[in-house]
Structure 1
Amino acid sequence: MASDRRDLQIGRRGILAGAGALALSALVKAPAHAAEMPANPLEKPGWILDRHDEFNGSLDTGLWIPKYLESRTTAERATARYGFRNNALVLRIDDDQPTYYAGNPMKVSSVQTGQRTGLHKTDPHDHDIATQWKYTARYGYFEIRAKTSARSGLHAAFWTVGVQDTASQNGEIDILEDPGPNPNQFLFNLHKWSDPNLSESSNTITTGFDINTEMHIYALEWTPSQLKLYIDNNLVKTINSSPAYNMAFLLSIYENAGWTGSVDPSDTRPKEFVVDYFRAYRPTDPASGQRYRLRNVSTGRYLDTGSDGAVGLEAGSSYDDQYWTLTEQQTGYWTIDNVRTGRSYLDTDADGKVIWNTGWIGDDSLWSIQSASGGFRIDNKYSGRGYLYGAGTTVGWNSGSADANTVWALERV
């Protein structure tokens, strides 16, 4: 992708929730005819539902931010236009909608699961914003059912951006990017930007249906080594490269982004991107013998080892002191073994302490791993010692209180 396209793309993906949302029902045609793909069941064999929004008449503000890359422009210009019809989200471009930048014709309506100042590109900068990660993921299965309505000068996208904890964590996955005007084609891309560990991959996907008028299912299976695109539950393309960091998700519609042709002045508004649902799944975990990083969901920090048996929470890194191998040693009980040479099983000590030992297995180094909203709870087998928890940079065990600090995400490495 050319750099000038990126300048406009970064402003490409951006609620007037009140009257505009309520009036939309009169403007959106109901999606229904025989060629459409029915919605999938919510449960997916082999996967655990992590987060989802069925868009049943409202937007989950615990998941979505209805402003597009806000630090690049004013809050008003970044705010999305959207509404609901037939239990689907409809992102739209309106006649009276302000452009994303002053003096630039591009308009955008977008919702995203995270934000920070300078996300996806540091320039231009209008104002600082609070960092919010409502949902990010590394690896899993991510699915929407949608139709795009893209025409010349208009495009829609289901895509991701890296969280940029470091400057090189800025890869982009375009799961469904429809630049129009071809009604049976879209783009499936991996853009490396400044990530030296990624390979650039741009792919035009041809379908056997009209993606502008029919609802179909588009999904990404993301593993440590591959990105797999599914259409209506069928694998159609694999990219053999994969970002190794968390990413946020966006649903976006754009007009006049500068690389998709000219808008037909007779093409009436509103222009729409209709999304029936968004669903995010993680693999059925834990898997015995699999290597993970353990992220405390409340703090966002990772389980980390230091010298002399020390265990704490630290920001994410690629060092092996944050890598742990989970092994089921007894039915329902697991060891959590640090990968670094000389450091072994996660263990409990008296007075609420958690340490690593040098290789012995007992009740104090065996753990049950239980599904919880947003992740797992990890419970020590030793009598009277409860859940592994994190607070600040401290790790310990409690006496069994199941609060937010006891939820851990298992991120495969």
Structure 2
Amino acid sequence: MDQILPPSPSEAPTFADDFSTGLDGEKWIAHYLPQWTVPERSAARYEIVETGLQLRIESDQLDWRTEDAPLRVSNVQTAMFSGPLGSARGTHRHRSDGLEVRTETPLRLLFAPTSGRIDVTVAASTDDGCMLAAWLVGIEHLSELDAGEICIFEIDADAVSTTTRARTGIKAHGDPRLETDMAEVVLPFDASGSHTWTVIWGDGETVIGCEGIVLRRIPQCPVYPVMLLIDLFEIGTPSGAYPKTAVVSDVRAWG
């Protein structure tokens, strides 16, 4: 029998945005991990539409880094941090092939909970080569070991149909206190329509669900400040029609 997620808390969320007034610079940084690249490559392409924040990949958009081409991304995130120019210190050192700070970014903690609950309502992309994802990632400003990730979801465009496959779980990255535990789940609906993901973490456990149903219950969680990233990627050689899009309609968090 499916487990039901607990209802959202009755108290007002500590962080909330439905994007009805635009993209709030006091809540979101519209760049993807800007410390590892340069601003013209990290900047998000987006539009505010009736249903929320439309993340876009456009035909003239640059690759996030030349070394990673072809890879383009439009992302919003709730914090940023780096060490000095040329250093290897910064949030989400997610690869081992020479990431170094190209744009020094001062510490900004717009929303950086250590535990709590987040509900994210999105509509995934079905455009060629795209992936929509939402992650909670350790900021690493207190320690380089605070590098773990809760992958709320990763949805490839070619996995979206009358049912949808998604990846979800924990990625340890540089945190020896965590073990990577990712799994594929099947959603019984077309995820290009609006739907809500939930993550609840703290007290040694991470619970991830969608549309009110528990998908994963994992007996571990990060214990340090994390930031929320929501991003649309185009992975692989550019193809198909542009712009490629996904929509974030609502984010509510308690923590």
TM-score (norm 2): 0.86
Stretch moving more, 201-210 or 231-240: 231-240
| Distance in structure 2 (CA, Å) of the matches to 1:61 and 1:100 | 21
Number of the residue aligned with 2:24: 60
Number of the residue aligned with 2:50: 86
Question: Which structure is larger by alpha-carbon Rg, 1 or 2?
Answer: 1
Number of the residue aligned with 1:171: 148
Partner deviation per Cα, 1:304-345 (whole Å, 9 max, x = no partner): xxxxxxxxxxxxxxxxxxxxxxxxxxxxxxxxxxxxxxxxxx
Q: What is the root-mean-square deviation in Å for CA atoms of aligned residues?
A: 1.8
1:49 match: secondary structure? coil
Partner deviation per Cα, 1:254-300 (whole Å, 9 max, x = no partner): 112xxxxx4572x2111112011111113xxxxxxxxxxxxxxxxxx
Q: Does the Cα contact within 8 Å between 2:70 and 2:238 map onto a contact in 1?
A: no
Number of the residue aligned with 1:190: 170
1:111 match: secondary structure? strand
Asked if residue 116 in structure 1 is aligned to residue 91 in structure 2, the reply is no
What is the identity, as a one-letter code, of the residue corresponding to 1:162? Answer: G
- Identity over the aligned pairs, expressed in percent? 25
2:106 match: secondary structure? coil
Partner deviation per Cα, 1:4-52 (whole Å, 9 max, x = no partner): xxxxxxxxxxxxxxxxxxxxxxxxxxxxxxxxxxxxxxx9345541111
| Distance in structure 2 (CA, Å) of the matches to 1:45 and 1:192 | 29
Number of the residue aligned with 1:276: 249
Kindly report structure 1 stretches of 4+ aligned residues shifted beyond 3 Å.
43-48
CA shift in 2, pair 1:241/1:106, >3 Å: same
What is the identity, as a one-letter code, of the residue corresponding to 1:65? Answer: I
Alignment of 1:123-142 (within 5 A): 123-142=99-118
Alignment of 1:375-390 (within 5 A): none
CA shift in 2, pair 1:263/1:148, >3 Å: farther
* Structure 1 unaligned spans of 5+: 1-42, 257-261, 283-413
| Distance in structure 2 (CA, Å) of the matches to 1:264 and 1:101 | 15
| Distance in structure 2 (CA, Å) of the matches to 1:239 and 1:230 | 12
Asked if residue 236 in structure 1 is aligned to residue 212 in structure 2, the reply is no
Asked if residue 98 in structure 1 is aligned to residue 70 in structure 2, the reply is no
Q: Does the Cα contact within 8 Å between 2:51 and 2:247 map onto a contact in 1?
A: no
Structure 1 residue 65, shift from structure 2 partner: 0.5
Q: Does the Cα contact within 8 Å between 2:37 and 2:103 map onto a contact in 1?
A: yes
Structure 1 residue 127, shift from structure 2 partner: 2.5
Asked if residue 148 in structure 1 is aligned to residue 113 in structure 2, the reply is no
Partner deviation per Cα, 1:338-377 (whole Å, 9 max, x = no partner): xxxxxxxxxxxxxxxxxxxxxxxxxxxxxxxxxxxxxxxx
TM-score (norm 1): 0.54
What is the identity, as a one-letter code, of the residue corresponding to 1:277? Answer: D
Q: Does the Cα contact within 8 Å between 2:14 and 2:253 map onto a contact in 1?
A: yes
Structure 1 residue 130, shift from structure 2 partner: 1.1
| Distance in structure 2 (CA, Å) of the matches to 1:151 and 1:107 | 13
Structure 1 residue 57, shift from structure 2 partner: 4.2
Q: Does the Cα contact within 8 Å between 2:136 and 2:228 map onto a contact in 1?
A: yes
| Distance in structure 2 (CA, Å) of the matches to 1:67 and 1:126 | 14
2:66 match: secondary structure? coil
Structure 1 residue 152, shift from structure 2 partner: 4.9
* Structure 2 unaligned spans of 5+: 1-6, 83-89
Q: Does the Cα contact within 8 Å between 1:150 and 1:178 map onto a contact in 2?
A: no
| Distance in structure 2 (CA, Å) of the matches to 1:62 and 1:131 | 14
Alignment of 1:4-403 (within 5 A): 44-46=8-10, 48-102=12-66, 104-117=69-82, 118-121=90-93, 123-164=99-140, 165-183=142-160, 184-212=164-192, 214-256=193-235, 262-263=236-237, 265=239, 267-282=240-255
